[in-house]
Amino acid sequence: MHLKGAGSNPLSPALDRWRALGRAAGAAAGLAGTALAAAACGGAPPSVVLPAQTSEPVAAPALLTGPPRTPKAVVAAAYQGYWQAYASAMAAASPARARAILAPYAPASSLSQLVTSLRAVWAAHDSTYGGAVTHVRSVRITGRRAILNDCLDLSHFGVVNRRTGRVVPDSFGLANQDYYITLVRSAGRWRVSNMTRVEVPCES
C-alpha cells in the first residue's frame, strides 16, 4: 500500500487548478476540512448561472441527530459532518464565522491552517459549490483515537465565483480517492485531525 504523506490535502487537485486560473490558492498542508452539508450537487458546467448567494449567517451543522448510534456510526457521522462544516465555512467568507463553524469538527491546533487555506479562496471571490461525497468503508476505534477509511469523491465539490455567479471551470476535485482519516475524541466530540491518501485509487 503506497501512502501519500500524512496530512495531504484532498482538495489539492482543485486548488492546483485554481492556481492555474490565476487564483491565489494555497491549502493548509496538515488538514483539509470535511463537511456534511452538500453531498447532493453534481458537477455543473461552467456556463451555469447559480442563484444569488444568501447573506444569512451559516450555522454549523449539529453533530448528532436522531436516536443513539453505535460508536463506529458516531465516528462516521463526525467525519461526514466535518466535510459539511468545511463547505459551510468556505461559503461563510469570514475568518471568524469559518472558525466557529469548523471548531466542533477539527482540533483547535488545526483551525488556523484551515482558515488560512480558505482565505485564498475568499480573496479570489470564490465560494463553495456542491460538496464532498463520502463512502466510509471501515472504522477502527482504539480508546480516544479512530482510524476511518473513505473512498472520497470530490468530483461534486467545486467553487462558484461570487461576482459572476458562475461555476469556476475545472474547479472540481477527483473521485475515488482512497483516504485514511485519523479522528481524536476531545470535549465529547470526534474531531478530524489528519488525512493520509493511498496512491492507488479506490472503488466506491
Residues 6+ apart with CB under 8 A from 125: 161, 162, 163
pLDDT number for residue 4: 52
- pLDDT tens digits, 10-37: 665 444 444 433 332 223 323 443 322 2
- pLDDT tens digits, 27-70: 332 344 332 222 223 333 333 333 344 333 333 344 445 554 89
Using the 8-state DSSP alphabet, how is residue 63 labeled? S
Residue 58 covered by a domain: no
Residue 168 covered by a domain: yes
pTM of the model: 0.73
Task: Give me the CATH number covering residue 149.
Answer: 3.10.450.50
What's the distance, Cα to Cα, between the start and end of the chain in Å?
Answer: 18
Report which secondary-structure segment, H or E, holds 77: helix 71-92
Residue 51 covered by a domain: no
| E strand map for the chain | 3-4, 126-130, 136-142, 145-152, 157-161, 177-186, 189-198
The residues facing 142 across adjacent strands are 145
Host domain of residue 77: 3-18+27-41+68-198
Residue 153 covered by a domain: yes
Residue 54 covered by a domain: no
Burial profile 26-35: b = 16 or more Cβ within 10 angstroms, e = fewer: ebbebbbbbb
pLDDT number for residue 171: 87
Residue 178 covered by a domain: yes
Residue 46 covered by a domain: no
The residues facing 191 across adjacent strands are 184
- What is the tally of structural domains in the chain? 1
Decide if 38 contacts 23 (C-beta within 8 A): no
The residues facing 157 across adjacent strands are 130
Residue 92 covered by a domain: yes
